[in-house]
């Protein structure tokens, strides 16, 4: 047991290289460029892996894609050009943000549709409840009948 702290220290020291696994290092002229690169690779999806972006993936194909993103950035390509070049090879699968077009409009609009739909349902429920409150609970005729019934009931109760 006394060795446990030493053992843990050794483990912690040894685990350093594991963090440094994605090893390639790219040079960027400006901080902004580097952030743009990080942004791009975090929005591109690895075609080989199930649901991992190319920033996190160690698959060889992800490395190739990162290289291509870097190469195109150095050539001065825009974000759209870079994403377009990869989509032309691997398909829309590699985009975590699908473009808005006829096929994806429902996908993009769904949160708005669901929110508006929810509001409409709530509004409908409230409106109905209000309308019911406004109505007099009983018409004069019904009220008279009800009182008559209640009176006869209490008569019976008295008799008992």
Partner 1 sequence: MKRVLLFLPLVIAVGVGIFLFAGLGKDPTKLESVLIGKPVPEFSLESLDNPEVQLDPSVFQGEVSLLNVWAEWCPSCWDEHEYLMYLAREQGVRIVGLNYKDQRESAFRFLNRLGNPYETIIFDPKGTLGFDLGVYGAPETFVIDAEGVVRYRHVGVVNQKVWEEVLLPVIAQARGNS
Write the CA distances from 33 to 20, 102, 103, integer angstroms: 22, 33, 33
Q: How many of the chain's residues bind partner 1 (CB under 8 A)? A: 15
Residue (of 76, 68, 78) closest to 41 by Cα position: 68
Q: Which of residues 47-106 bind partner 1 (CB under 8 A)?
A: 47-48, 50, 59-61, 64, 68, 87-93
Q: Cβ closer to partner 1: 34 or 63?
A: 63
Q: Cβ closer to partner 1: 26 or 90?
A: 90
Q: Cβ closer to partner 1: 106 or 140?
A: 106
Write the CA distances from 152 to 58, 141, 147, 149, integer angstroms: 86, 17, 9, 5
Provide the CB-side half-sphere exposure for 14 (13 A, CA): 6
Closest approach of partner 1 to the CB of residue 12, in Å: 34
Residue (of 114, 80, 113) closest to 97 by Cα position: 80
Closest approach of partner 1 to the CB of residue 129, in Å: 17
Q: Binding string to partner 1 for residues 14 to 53, with x set by CB under 8 A, is what?
A: ---------------------------------xx-x---
Write the CA distances from 151 to 119, 154, 159, integer angstroms: 46, 5, 12
The residues of the shown chain that bind partner 1, judged by CB under 8 A, are 47-48, 50, 59-61, 64, 68, 87-93
């Amino acid at each position: 047991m006394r060795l446990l702290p030493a053992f843990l220290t050794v483990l912690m020291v040894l685990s350093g290289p594991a963090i440094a696994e994605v090893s390639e290092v790219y040079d960027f002229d400006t901080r902004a460029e580097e952030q743009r690169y990080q942004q791009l690779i975090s929005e591109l999806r690895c075609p080989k892996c199930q649901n991992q972006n190319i920033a996190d993936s160690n698959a060889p194909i992800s490395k190739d894609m990162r290289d291509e993103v870097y190469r195109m950035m150095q050539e001065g390509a825009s974000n759209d050009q870079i994403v377009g070049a990869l989509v032309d090879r691997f398909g829309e699968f590699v985009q975590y943000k699908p473009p808005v077009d006829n096929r994806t409009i429902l996908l993009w609009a769904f949160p708005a549709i669901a929110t508006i739909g929810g509001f409409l349902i709530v509004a409908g429920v409230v409106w109905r409840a209000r309308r019911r409150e406004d109505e007099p609970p009983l018409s004069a005729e019904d009220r008279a009948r009800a009182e008559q019934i209640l009176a006869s009931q209490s008569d019976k109760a008295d008799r008992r």
